[in-house]
A and B are shown apart, each in its own frame.
Chain A
Amino acid sequence: MTALLEARDLVRVYEISRGLWKKPTLVRAVDRVSLSLSAGETLGVVGESGSGKSTLGRMLLGIDPATEGQVVFDGQPMPAMGTTEWRRLRAQMQLVFQDPLAALDRRLSIAEQIGEPLVIHGLATKSEVKERVAELMSAVGLRSDQAGRYPHELSGGQRQRVIIARALATEPRLLVCDEPVSALDVSIQAQVVNLLRDLQEKHGIAMVFISHDLKVVRNITDRVAVMYLGRIVEEASSDVIFTHPQHPYTRALVSSVPVPGRKLEARIILQGEPPNPARRPAGCAFHPRCPVVLPSCRTSAPKLGAVGTGHIAACHLIAQSDAPLVA
């Protein structure tokens, strides 16, 4: 199966100034990330704040230019941001944001906003836009009498539906969702997750689902990439990641998910804070917090290697033996 989207050795370096006279620090927010996504597939990207998952999401759409590496969409390299070719391509790939109120224009009615991509990309005439907006609104479960409403008149869940409708307007083949349900209440979150799944199945959209909520990721994704300090440390099918995680970080992450009705027990509680991308530890970036650290972890960085079919991980311990890790 050919990949719809492929990222090859993506690197994003930010400059952080530390004051007027000091030399700026270079931060590698995303560090040699490669991944591929087939049509209709959902890839979850999980990690803590500062792991580079949102930067990666923007890079996949070309909004954030890659310092090194390349994004290939449908066999063609991604054109530079702002060019006519890139704009044309952007109709096929859309972003769903976390905070719907910030992503919507509060002076435009929701119907105007849902129809806007069609106007911008010149995909429909005026009368067609109206028809298409009505279609989109019903597809995401908004009532037709809400078309003239403004964002502040809607609830959080309804606003997120507007964002999704707008993203779907151009019939994209790829949807990058950056924490799309994190700001929603549990009961509404389930509505939106189901909606995304239905739409995806119906239209065969490929989806990159960026989230820190592992429970939602478990429910919606086929494959999961775990990021730590800008790098992918483990990637496997969703079933494997959640039942047989190999990397000590993934293990801690999976075990830290609070399960309703269960007391504190058998959890791997990591020591220390998520590290600062500006001060990346030497060797394996995870070693200061790793419960099963070896001396070699402090000096050499492990490479991503296969640990099973369709399962890769970057850890010295996994490379050394097939025996399961015991924390």
Chain B
Amino acid sequence: MPFISIRDLRVAFDGTQVLHGVNLDVAKGEALGLVGESGCGKSVTWLAALGLLPGTARVTGSVTLDGQELCGASRSTLEGVRGGRVAMIFQDPSSSLNPVIRVGRQIAETLRIHRGLMGDAARLEAIRLMDMVGIPDARKRSDTYPHELSGGQCQRIMIAMALAGEPDLLIADEPTTALDATIQAQILDLLSAVRAETGMAMVFISHDLGAVSQVCDRICVMYAGRIVEEGRIDATFGNPRHPYTRGLFDAIPRLEGGRERLVPIHGTVPDPRNLSNGCAFSPRCDRATDFCRSNLPVLKPQPDGRFLSCFHPVTGISKSSCTSGQHESAAA
């Protein structure tokens, strides 16, 4: 049974639907990557699931954590889950930390709220956590303010704080995007090490396909508020089937590639206020037909274990036989 299970999650801001029914499961101890371009709904999915969206957002659907319904749950229920069973870290660590409180105290505060630790016990545990996330000389550093630490170290503090509640699931929203290349490598390494040690599950939200493949087991590719492809990371990245996933791969320059011309995806991400009736990717897709433009593909399981929502998927090495059957079932 999955640890957290999202069913038909829909989010609308001021009447504009931005999330169109997302279904997603995260098993215990699993690392799931969520990729897509800005505005595709990858962050909104989790903010909605944890009740962190502003009141103007209309959220419908179901989010269950170990059988407990979170969507529409009371504030106290959600506060017990957030920071405790499910922790979240964000892209910009320095804006998530309080600039006028010493970092050690900020971690200790989380320990008090979620584990009831007080005084010296909390202080020592905060130092232990800082040690665990690789902050040198943690005892001394616990007395510093966030501005005295570098971006990479602030992100380590955020991770320490997230670990303070001993979460079963960590949602990492673009945790390395603002960091330098060598520091990004350190943080990815740290996240993997922490997961190996604690066995917590992780959802890694990123637009960087490279970073995702380094730390995740499974991946979901999102486009315009929907999941378009989902599968094991090696299978999906080894042989992307959705034209959008394929396009993302082709658009990334390669280190070993030299100066060959890049293959961009033409056009831009659609405006959520006027999406077409058909596949949202069809205006940018080379494989799209009139059928794609008027009918909405559904995310369907494929023989190789992945999920795909496309009428004309890219046929890679393992040619799938079920593509023709999709036409009728989707049209019906």
Contact = CB atoms under 8 A, between A and B. Distances in A.
Contacts of A155: 268-269
Nearest to B262: A190
Contacts of B212: 260
Interface in A138-197: 155-158, 185-191, 193-194, 197
Contact of A190 (B189, B256, B263, B269): B263
Interface residues of A, number: 43
B183 interface: yes
Interface in B201-250: 207-215, 233-234, 237-238, 247-250
Contacts of B118: none
Contacts of A253: 181-182
Q: In the complex, which range does the number of interface residues on chain B fall in?
A: 35 or more
Nearest to B260: A219
B249 A274 contact: no
Interface stretch (A102-110, A121-129, A264-272): A264-272
Contact of A267 (B153, B185, B252, B256): B185
B97 to A, nearest CB: 17
A185 B181 contact: no
Contacts of B211: 258
A212 interface: yes
- Grouping DSSP codes into helix (H, G, I), strand (E, B) and loop, the A interface class, with mixed when no group exceeds half, is helix
B150 interface: yes
Nearest to B234: A261
Contacts of A186: 37, 207, 209, 248, 251-252
Contacts, number: 136
Contact of A185 (B37, B183, B184, B237): B37
A198 B189 CA distance: 38
A212 B180 contact: yes
A187 B265 contact: yes
Given A197-B261, A215-B254, 10 more contacts: A48-B180, A185-B38, A186-B209, A186-B251, A187-B264, A189-B264, A190-B252, A194-B261, A263-B214, A270-B185
Interface of A: 48-49, 155-158, 185-191, 193-194, 197, 212, 214-216, 218-220, 238-239, 242, 252-254, 256-264, 267, 269-270, 273-274
22 contacts: A186-B207, A187-B37, A187-B251, A188-B264, A188-B268, A190-B250, A193-B253, A197-B261, A212-B180, A218-B258, A219-B254, A253-B181, A254-B255, A257-B181, A257-B255, A258-B184, A258-B188, A258-B208, A260-B209, A260-B249, A261-B238, A269-B182
